[in-house]
Structure formats: C-alpha cells, structure tokens
Amino acid sequence: MKILIVSDSWHPQTNGVVRTLEATTERLQRRGHDIKIIGPDATRWCSFPMPTYPEIKLELFASKRLRQIVHDYEPELIHIATEGPLGWSARTLCLREKRPFTTSYHTRFPEYVEARAPKPVKRVLKTFSYAFLRRFHAPSAAVMVATDSIEKDLQKRRFGRIVRWSRGVDTDLFRPYGKDLPAYAELTRPILLYVGRVSVEKNLPAFLTVKTSGSKVVIGEGPGLTAMRAQYPDVLFTGKLEGETLARHYAAADLFVFPSTSDTFGLVLLEACAAGLRVASYPAPGPVDIFADPSTQSFAVLNANLQRSVDQALALRDNPDAPRRFAESFSWERCTEQFFYHLQARTPKAVKRLIRMREWLKNWWKH
C-alpha cells in the first residue's frame, strides 16, 4: 500500500518522533508497503529555525508543495504525525479534498509552552494550546497516543477517537556492552546518566542538582547546552552521540536518570533498560506507564523527590539481566502492527473495499 506520512519533525533532526517514524517505516517497507515521508524543506524561502529550537526547521506556506506531492504520489493512506505548520497544511489539504487521515500525539506541547511562559500567562497559554491541539486533531479518523496516562489526560480534555500506538527499542543495538569506556575512565562512580534534549522543558536542573558521590553525564544537544556547561562545570556534557557510540555510553553508566515531567513516553527509558541500567525518575506520564508492572521495582524507582529516587535506585542490586529482559518485551514489530491497523481500520468502508480489491488483484497476478 502507498502510505504518506507528514511530519514537521524529520531528518536531520534527532528525537523520539524521528526515531519512532524511522523504526515504523522501515518495518512497513519490509512488509512490502510503499512509504513516503514529507518533512520541512529547509531550502525554501519560507523555512526558518524554530524559536529557541534552531535545529528544528519550520516550513510555512507549504500547501502548494504538499498538494503537488499528494497528487503525484496518490497515497491510499495518510498520517499526519505533528501539529506544526506542515501538519496544519496537510490537514487543510486532506479536509479540502475529502481525504481521510490519522494523526498522532507525540509531544505535550502545552506543557512545553507552560515551562517557557512568564508566570502571569502560564495557565492561559496552556489552556489556549490545548484548544489549539483539540481543533487540530478533531477531524482525524484516529488520534494515536503512546500510553494510558496520555490517553486519559486527553480524554479529560475532550479529545476524541484516541487509540494506542506504543513504542519499541532496538535491543540489538542497545545492550550491556560492559562498563569499560575510555570516555568515562576519569569519572568517579557511580555514573549518573541523562540522554535527551538540553532544554528547559526537560527539567534538567532537577538532575544536575542531585547530590551524588559519583559523576554526572549529559548526552544530547539543545538550546540550553552552552549555558548549562558554564553553570555545571563538574558535569560531562558530551553533545550529540548516535549509533553504537551512544549505546556504549548507556551501558557504561551505572544509573539512568529521567527528570522530565512533560514527555508522552520517553524512548530513552527503554534504551537504558536494554543497556541493562537501573532507572530513577519522577512518577510522570511515560515512566508511570512504562514501569507499571510490579516486576520493574527491582531496577526502577519513581519518586516525587528525584533525590530519593536516585538514592533508592542506586541501593538496588545492579543486575543488568532484569531491565534487559523487560526491554525485550517492547517490540517495534508490535508497534508497527498497531500503527498500520489504526491507519487502515479507520478508513471509510468504500476505501477499505478498494484496498482489499487491490490486494486481491496483486495476489491474483502473482499466481
């Protein structure tokens, strides 16, 4: 099947949305589907860096470009992954041409706005942001979310047609490589690790001010990197790492700390578990869903006081096998099945009949 995905977040960006789309599309292609992803075109005059996120490029006035692509490609299924300018252009096009589409909710954008806004207008901007998102997702055939907490929260905020699209982890790449890593050779153990964006909404100061007899490492980049390097000279800021280099940095640490309270999931939590690490976090959406099973208490601690969470997690037995076995239950294959099911299950009956007829003709022709 021909599947079109529109996302304001795409290469060269590196984040949870991009990694999720990469993993999902790769597996859809293995199953014989034709996938096309449209991201922002940074070469166009109307593209510009997102304020406070210069590495993220936004594209305005993309309607004509999108319309040409859609008409040339003629997708059978359309998914709009983000609520940015490109996503809105795709939404407008689909509504105008009566093309059914699905959407996904990857980012708690209102919480990001609240974290950055001045105190007098925090609540107003958060309320306005949810109204903006509710309007965006209202015509969607299905709004895909990663966890039960986010689903319940959106239902309370009067979002409709919510379905589950979980996440996975590459357990071949992220695994216990051992603690011997040259980059950590001079660091005092235990080594506390954070992986993710270095920005205000990630609540990094909560991690960086935790008291420890060991060391702290931050892997990632973002608008707050320069200031935080200057403010916390005792912390090792590595910048952006990828692939096996990133995986080995995970495995060589002693504890993964997740200070964010605004993420919808937290893929880095699964990557840390796959690498065999214990985890300390707040009981926020994402962690509370991932570590809902009582068996995770042997390697994960969620406490409203992050210092206590860190101390209690370090007191747990360091057994890489337990978090590793847990991470292996999160399969990208299962996530891909969920994604494809929601894509095609919510289309009108007439479209479904055409899809089934096309598949039957393909099989008939082969035989």
Q: What is the pLDDT of residue 123?
A: 84
Q: What is the pLDDT of residue 118?
A: 78
pLDDT in tens, 35-67: 999 999 988 888 888 776 677 788 999 999 999
Q: What is the pLDDT of residue 354?
A: 54
Domain 2-168+331-366 has CATH 3.50.50.60: no
Q: What is the pLDDT of residue 132?
A: 94
- Nearest-CA neighbor of 86 among 57, 51, 125, 49? 57
Domain ranges in the chain are 2-168+331-366, 182-327
Q: What is the pLDDT of residue 3?
A: 97
Q: What is the pLDDT of residue 119?
A: 77
Residue 68 scores a pLDDT above 90: yes
Is the fold of 2-168+331-366 the same as that of 182-327? yes
| pLDDT tier at 279, thresholds 50, 70, 90 | very high
pLDDT in tens, 133-191: 999 999 999 999 999 999 999 999 999 999 999 999 999 999 999 999 999 999 999 99
Lowest mean pLDDT among 132-141, 197-206, 348-357: 348-357
Q: What is the pLDDT of residue 109?
A: 76
Phi, psi (degrees; rounded to nearest 5) at 15: -160, -175
Q: What is the pLDDT of residue 35?
A: 97
Cis peptide bond upstream of 190, omega within 30: yes
E-only strand ranges, the chain: 2-6, 34-38, 47-50, 53-59, 77-80, 102-104, 143-145, 162-164, 191-195, 215-219, 236-239, 255-258, 278-281, 300-302
Q: What percent of the chain has pLDDT over 90?
A: 75
Contact 230, 183 (CB under 8 A): no
Q: What is the pLDDT of residue 362?
A: 61
Q: Which two tokens stand for residue 212?
A: 């420890």
Please tell me which residue, 122 or 308, carries the higher pLDDT value: 308
Residue 290 scores a pLDDT above 60: yes
pLDDT in tens, 217-261: 999 998 899 999 999 999 999 999 999 999 999 999 999 999 999
pLDDT in tens, 91-132: 999 999 999 999 999 888 788 777 777 777 888 888 999 999
CATH numeric code, 182-327? 3.40.50.2000
Contact 229, 237 (CB under 8 A): yes
Q: Which two tokens stand for residue 5?
A: 């995905």
Indicate whether this model's pTM tops 0.75. Answer: yes
Residue 288 scores a pLDDT above 90: yes
Q: Which two tokens stand for residue 145?
A: 């979310």
Phi, psi (degrees; rounded to nearest 5) at 302: -115, 120
Residue 207 DSSP SS3: helix
